[in-house]
Amino acid sequence: MDITVQELKNKLAAEDGFVLIDVREPYEHEEFNVGGNLVPLGDIPNRLGELEDFKDHEIIVYCRSGKRSANAQAFLQQNGFQNVHNLTGGMLAWEEAFGRTR
């Protein structure tokens, strides 16, 4: 299941309990992010143990355009994570809608 940038913005504003994961590279995260925990896509398999604590939580993954986060979403779902959402359009869609503001 996917989530739109407006839905994510609303969840962030409401401080709705969820886990936000940025699957981009560190330089992308440093350039601009919306507050997600940085877990680059290539690191997810090795860091699955860290993420196990969030298996029963809502997780939202994002990247630049939504493609890497779609891969992360599929991987997490294959590993038993039930409630994983991909941010449609990623940070490109966020910037188009809201600029570089959180």
In angstroms, the CA 27 to CA 51 distance is: 22
The residue with tokens 């298996």 is 55
Q: Which two tokens stand for residue 1?
A: 């299941």
Active site residue 63: yes
Is residue 79 within 8 Å of 52, Cβ to Cβ?
no
Q: Of 8, 27, 22, 11, nearest to 61 (Cα)? A: 22
Give the active site residue among 63, 72, 91, 93: 63
Please list the active-site residues.
63
